[in-house]
Amino acid sequence: MSIAGSSIRGNVKIPLSKPWIGAEEAQIAQSIVKSGWLISGPKVAEFEKRFAEKIAVRHAVAVNSGSSALLIAQQALGVQAGDEVIVPDMTFISTASSCMYLGAKPVFADIEMKTYCINPGDIKRRITKGTKGIIPVHYAGQSADMEYILEIAKRYGLFVLEDAAEAHLSEYKGKKAGGIGDIAIFSFTPSKPITTGEGGMITTNKSDLAKKCRLIRDFSDIGKFEYENLGFNFRMPEVMGGVGLVQLRKLEEAVRRRRSIAHRYTMAFEDLEAIITPFQRTENDINYQLYTIRLNLDEVTITRNQFIEALSEKGVSSRLYYPALHTQKVFTDLAISDDYPNTLEFARTALSLPIYPAMSEEEVSIVVEVVETLCSQYRRSL
C-alpha cells in the first residue's frame, strides 16, 4: 500500500510515544546508586509528598506499578471473593484483571462515544446484589463523567476507584483527577506524562485507606515480622522515586506540550470528513496522554487496520488503544454478555497517533501530512 504523488519526506520513523528524560534523571539515578540506598526510602517518601501536593490530595502511596496500585487499592477497599466490580469494556487489561486476583469478577460496562470513558447510564444496568464498586477510567487523560458516577455510587453504596493511570493533571469541574473518588491510581510507564520506568501511585483523601495501602504494599508487616493480614512486596525502588521527583518538576510543561500538539492535530483534521477528532469539554479536562481519532468508514475505502498499516509504511506509528475486553479469551469463563455496541464501534474505527512532549514541529507536520494524504487517496467516491 503506497501513497502516490506525496511530498512526504522519506526515511522518517515517528514513534507513538517517547519518554521525556535527560541528564537530570541520569544524575539523580547515579547519585542514588552511589549512596547504596536502593530500596524504598527518603526519595520515594519525598516523591509521594510532592505528588500529593500536585494532585491536591492528602495522601499518596508509591508502588511498583499502576497495575499493582489497582490491586492494592481494591484490597484496601475490601474487595474479596464473590464481589463484582464494574469497569469499562475499553481499557487496559489490569483495570479489569486486578480484581480477579482477589477472587472478584469484573463486570464490563459500555463506553460513551464522546470521551470514550465508561457510560454512566450503562453502569446502572450492570449493578447487582454482588456489586462492590466502580472503576471509571479517565481514558487518554480525558476525565470521565464523575458527577454522575458518584451519584450512582452513593445511591447503591458502592466505592469509586478512579483509574487515573493516564490522567496526570487532568481535571473534572475544577478538581484534579485522582482526588475525586474514594481512591485513585496513577501509572508511570514510559508513555505517561511522567515516567519512572515502571511505577505507580495511589492517591486518596481518606487516611484509613492510605494506611491500609501502605501496609499491603509492604507485606502488611505491622511491626518487624508481625503479620495480621495479607500483603506483599509492592514497594517502589528508591531510584524510581528519585527519577519521579525530576519528572514531577516537568509535569506542567509536559502536559502543556501535549495539549499544544493536540491542538495542531485537531485544527488540521477538523475539516476532514474521514476523521473524528477527540472531544474536549475544556482544555483542563484532558491532558492528551493519547491523541485518539476515529476513522469514518463511510468516507473512505480503507479499513482502520489498513489505515494503521499505511501510516506505518510512511514511518508514522499508530495503534488501537484498546480492544474490547469482553472479546479477550482470558475473560471467556465469566459468562459476559456481548451487548457493548459503542466499545465494538470504537474497536473497529479508533487509532491513536504519535504524541509526546519532545515531539518536534516537523514530526507533527509529517503526521498531519500523512493523515491528510491517506484521507485524500482513499476517499470514497460520491
What's the CA gap between 135 and 88, in Å, rounded?
8
Residue with the three cell numbers 527519577:
243
Percent helix, strand and coil across the chain, each to the nearest 5: 40, 20, 40
Neighbouring-strand partners of residue 60: 203
For residue 304, give the nearest of 291, 318, 316 by alpha carbon.
Answer: 318
Contact between 94 and 67 under an 8 Å Cβ cutoff? The reply is yes
Q: What is the DSSP track for 5-49?
A: T--PPSS--B-S------HHHHHHHHHHHHHT--SS-HHHHHHHH
Vertex 145 angle, CA 327 and 123, to 5°? 45
Contact between 142 and 374 under an 8 Å Cβ cutoff? The reply is no
113 sits in the region (left: phi over 0; alpha: psi -120 to 50; else beta) called: alpha
Neighbours of 358 (CB within 10 A): 12
Q: What is the DSSP track for 245-297?
A: HHHHHTHHHHHHHHHHHHHHHHHHHTT-TTEEPPP-SSGGGB--SSEEEEE-T
What's the CA gap between 230 and 106, in Å, rounded?
22
Cell, residue 85: 466490580
Does the annotation count 43 as an active-site position? no
φ/ψ of 288, rounded to 5, equals 55, 45
Catalytic choice (43, 132, 176, 192): 192
Contact between 128 and 156 under an 8 Å Cβ cutoff? The reply is no
Catalytic residue annotation: 192
